[in-house]
């Protein structure tokens, strides 16, 4: 049975492609965010500044670390939300594609 390429099939395949690519990028972003939370950057360069005392230097380093962790958490939340939206869309459209491929072809009677 030869598969016909219809506008509906093209739409379903394009949605699957787009949601799959979005899911891949979101997964990479999610992993990077988790790694960033677990292993944050040690600082932005306040160390050795002659105008800062040790206590102020330590406070700025902690602020920098907290800021980076907050950014990474927001990245993880954003990537997770994207996956939660794109994943089901992909699964729904892919199942539609599979259902249409296995459905018997209806030939109009003349």
Other C-beta atoms lying within 10 Å of the C-beta of residue 102: 7
Instruction: Kindly report the pTM of this predicted structure.
Output: 0.75
Give the tens place of pLDDT for each residue, 89-101. 999 999 999 888 8
pLDDT at residue 64 in the model: 84
Residue 110 or residue 20, greater confidence: 20
pLDDT in tens, 48-107: 667 777 788 788 888 888 888 999 999 999 999 999 999 999 999 999 998 888 876 666
Domain layout of the chain by residue ranges: 7-101
86/76 Cα distance (integer angstroms):
15
Q: pLDDT tens-digit profile of 4-27? A: 778 988 999 999 999 999 999 999
pLDDT above 50 for 1: no
Q: What six digits make up the tokens of 68?
A: 């980076």
């Amino acid at each position: 049975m030869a598969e016909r390429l219809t506008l509906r099939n093209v739409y379903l395949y394009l949605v699957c492609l787009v949601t799959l690519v979005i899911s891949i990028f979101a997964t990479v972003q999610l992993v990077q965010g988790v790694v960033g939370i677990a292993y944050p950057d040690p600082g932005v360069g306040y160390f050795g500044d002659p105008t800062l005392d040790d206590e102020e230097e330590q406070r700025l380093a902690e602020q920098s670390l907290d800021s980076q962790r907050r950014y990474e958490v927001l990245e993880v939340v954003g990537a997770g939300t994207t996956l939660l939206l794109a994943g089901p869309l992909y699964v729904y459209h892919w199942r539609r594609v599979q259902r249409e491929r296995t459905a018997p072809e209806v030939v109009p009677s003349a």
